[in-house]
Amino acid sequence: MLGYLLTADFEDQGNRHLLNFFGTSDKGPFRIVVDNFRPLFFIERSHTSLRLTTRHERKEVKLTNFNGVDVDCLYFDTQRDLYTAKDELQAQGIRTYEADVRSPERYLMERFINASLFIEGQAQMIDGILTYKNPVMKKANYRPTFNVMSLDIETSMGNDLYSIGIHQIGAKEIKKVYMVGDSHRQVNEELYLFPSERELLIQFNNEFLEIDPDIIVGWHIIGFDFRFLEGKFKQYNLPFNLARANGKFQISEKKGMGWFSKACGRVVIDGPPALRNAFYSFDNFKLETVAREVLGTGKDIASGGPDKVEEITRRFHEDKESLAKYNLLDCTLVLDIFAKTGLIDLIVTRTLLSGMLMDRIGVSTGAFDHFMLPSIHRKGVVIGNVIDIERLVHAAGGHVMSPKEGLHEHVVVLDFKSLYPSIIRTFKIDPYSRIKSNVNTVTTPVGISFSKTEHILPDFIENLFEKRKEAKIKGDDYLSQAIKILMNSFYGVMGSGGSRFYHADLPTAITGTGQWILKNAMSFLEGKDYEVVYGDTDSVFVKLKFIDIGRVHDKANQLAESLNKYFSEKIMKEFRVESHLEIEYEKYYRKLYFPPARSGEGGAKKRYVGLLQKSVGIENIHFSGMEYVRSDWTKLAKKFQMELYEKFFAGVSVDSFIKDFIKEFKENPNVNDLIYKKRLTKSADEYIKSIPPHVKAAKLLIEKTGHTNLKSIRYVITRRGPIPIDFEPKDIDYDHYIEKQIRPIAEDVLKILEKSFDDLTLGDQLTLF
């Protein structure tokens, strides 16, 4: 049978270690139980006298550690025994290797299984699920059709459960709302009433297990819906278990990272973090906002805060069918957003590429382990535990040139395509080639050596490059994006102290070489009498000559080609390796402005705005690093900045515009334009020493509403300080917005024009004398 794995876990039963894999297939859900795999780690062979209280088997293997010292493998009956032995050996001063690799991950990676697999063996129904015991498992390339359930609950502001709505798609579409009512009855095709919360919960839990979704989606579903339901089930002494085959269902919070859930046999995907991880950006991640932008439609109750809760409560008591419609529409909106953005397709593609299952898809260190560990084992080497890695000095970042402040015309951007992966390919940088650097040596521009022939990662990246080319030709955007995410994670992993493969030489060689490349690119272009106005990590901004203006795109492409030729020859001549760098012409600004740094001298790094040409005769204002593209600035600031640069680029005097804008703001302020939006990185009560404005506003909202799971806050600045917008404050501090939102943006332009914001807004004080 072909199958796709959803979750993997392990447990000790008595003196046996069990691996539990859950997945789905064309035949429905399945479970694989493996009880013939033993947890293991490695120790140096020279440690012949071990004092261990646990049962173990020691075997000689043809492997060494990174220092070339021979190692043996120790096998244990249970994970519990492995942990005990590891601690005992540590107390004896004996180092272990790979003792922290989880058994399910080791089992899959050593078989090169990336979520999709072929299963061969006998199966039987156990606990209502097709179960295989110790089957043959091989890698495959299979995508199932998932049963995806969207779930949403409606509650009072307190602890009252009003309803649970579900909408499932897949083998069969199911729409249903479970609601507390006056009796046990069916109101219409979708609405079912229950006389108490307890009876509603019992019926919902029983039917949920029958409906049996593979994937559960929702909006803040873990931190709100599941937490609320968990409390309700506990209140009525009912078991709350949404896992398959009586498996575990857990909800946990990781400090600063949000809420997570783990359900054996099912995957829970929360909309907002999933969108963020796919690099989507919105004004905010409320369902109404995202639905409007992605789908062009919104919720049945668009208002928020107390008004929304008040209307939900009214519908619950007076118009249950209307509340059911609202509840179900939220479920459907979430499904439609997932479908339109292709979130599940992207996540599945990433699992098939990286080997991480859906519930661990964002663990880049795990993905690197999944690829690198089995490959490095086949080179005869084992690696240490993460906790034992020596954290040396962090590598420098990419080179960022101070921009030439002011207004420039006809600037093209030349971009190094996938710079860090290309450097890895060119200079053969990976953990294994570092320890084999004495074999066919190549030395990077920063003096760190690797092996030209003994390496693993460069070949894998080359394969990914080819796959991405094919994906782009076929129009497979999900595969192309998944490859880009994976490739770009490699540098971060090798430079992370949380990776077992970390060594300071790896990120230093990559970033140092990147700096060398950027500086040489700028020198080459300046040697051809081109002015480089800015350079940032993997891009150079080049000002074209007057004679180039009539053929901008041709000239930009010629410059990119000449850079490619230059680096190809230079790297072969100086380092005797083939260059895999690829410079391409990325974009053209007819006008480009670098504002002065707000503190210090020179232009502000990573901040610019320009007239970006999209096609002949079509251009728009493009901001990078400016307030217009930052979520923590108000609509007032963004509106002012856009209009200011429209005037500036058009060559119109900005003086009268600034004065008129402030005058109009004072006379006709729009409170909606003054709202600050900020996320809370921790709970409001954890801010003690320093309490920033958004936390002050959050504390006020929590005090009034009792809302304990506040993740973001919308507030305005009043003469009393920061106040939640939910309170509809009237005493707005308009001077604050002029000073903190308008002034700094205006001064970005006025300074270069040698004009004063105060002179414009207050009048020249000298005229008083």
My answer on whether 478 and 606 are in the same domain is yes
My answer on whether 224 and 341 are in the same domain is yes
My answer on whether 134 and 154 are in the same domain is no
Q: What are the residue ranges in the chain where pLDDT is below 50?
A: 764-769
Nearest to 700 by CA among 305, 223, 297, 286: 305
Nearest to 72 by CA among 111, 99, 43, 51: 43
My answer on whether 171 and 314 are in the same domain is yes
Long-range contacts from 692-700, C-beta under 8 angstroms, 24+ separation: 693/717, 693/721, 693/722, 694/722, 696/721, 696/722, 697/722, 697/723, 697/724, 698/724, 700/724, 700/727
Structural domain includes residue 644: yes
CATH code of the domain in which 703 resides? 1.10.132.60
CATH code of the domain in which 252 resides? 3.30.420.10
The pLDDT, as a whole number, for residue 324 is 95
- Among 354, 377, 397, the domain-final residue is 354
Eight-state DSSP code of residue 447 = S
What's the chain's Rg over C-alpha atoms? Answer: 30
Strands (E), 548-692: 583-594, 608-615, 618-624, 676-679
My answer on whether 527 and 675 are in the same domain is no
CATH code of the domain in which 417 resides? 3.90.1600.10
Residue 521 CA to residue 539 CA, distance in Å, equals 9
How many domains does one find in the chain?
Answer: 4
Sign of the Cα torsion 311, 317, 321, 323 reads positive
SS3 713: strand
Residue 744 CA to residue 757 CA, distance in Å, equals 9
Tokens (6 digits) for 273: 């973090």
CA geometry: angle at 418 spanning 414 and 423, to 5°?
105
Structural domain includes residue 375: no
SS3 260: strand
Eight-state DSSP code of residue 433 = H
My answer on whether 80 and 207 are in the same domain is no
407 neighbors 593 (Cβ within 8 angstroms): yes
Structural domain includes residue 377: no
- Residue 278 one-letter amino acid: A
Nearest to 299 by CA among 142, 448, 154, 496: 154
My answer on whether 570 and 704 are in the same domain is no
Nearest to 693 by CA among 682, 683, 680, 702: 680
- Among 339, 354, 369, the domain-final residue is 354
Structural domain includes residue 421: yes
The pLDDT, as a whole number, for residue 709 is 67
Residue 703 CA to residue 153 CA, distance in Å, equals 24
My answer on whether 266 and 400 are in the same domain is no
Looking up tokens 């922290």, which residue turns up?
A: 100
Sign of the Cα torsion 729, 734, 740, 745 reads positive
SS3 214: coil
445 neighbors 513 (Cβ within 8 angstroms): yes
Nearest to 636 by CA among 742, 722, 740, 735: 742
Tokens (6 digits) for 741: 């939102």
Looking up tokens 């700094």, which residue turns up?
A: 744
CA geometry: angle at 193 spanning 190 and 198, to 5°?
125
My answer on whether 651 and 610 are in the same domain is no
Burial status of residue 744 (CB atoms within 10 A of its CB: 0-12, 13-18, 19 or more): middle
- Among 139, 156, 182, the domain-final residue is 139
pTM attached to this predicted model: 0.87
Tokens (6 digits) for 343: 């979130």
Residue 727 CA to residue 696 CA, distance in Å, equals 14
- 699-709 pLDDT tens trace: 888 888 777 66
Looking up tokens 């009043």, which residue turns up?
A: 718
CATH code of the domain in which 126 resides? 3.30.342.10
Q: Which residues pair with 153 in a beta bridge?
A: 164
Instruction: Write phi, then psi, for 491 (nearest 5 degrees).
Output: -60, -45
The pLDDT, as a whole number, for residue 681 is 77
My answer on whether 198 and 313 are in the same domain is yes
My answer on whether 634 and 614 are in the same domain is no
Structural domain includes residue 326: yes
My answer on whether 159 and 124 are in the same domain is no
DSSP assignment string, 6-71? EEEEEEEETTEEEEEEEEEETTEEEEEEE-S---EEEEETT------SS-EEEEEEEEE-TTS-EE
Structural domain includes residue 371: no
Structural domain includes residue 381: no
Range of the domain at 561: 389-619
Structural domain includes residue 477: yes
20 neighbors 276 (Cβ within 8 angstroms): no
CA geometry: angle at 316 spanning 314 and 318, to 5°?
60
The pLDDT, as a whole number, for residue 10 is 95
DSSP assignment string, 299-339? -SS---HHHHHHHHHHHHHH-HHHHHHHHHHHHHHHHHHHH
490 neighbors 482 (Cβ within 8 angstroms): no
Residue 179 CA to residue 204 CA, distance in Å, equals 10
DSSP assignment string, 553-576? HHHHHHHHHHHHHHHHHHHHHHHS
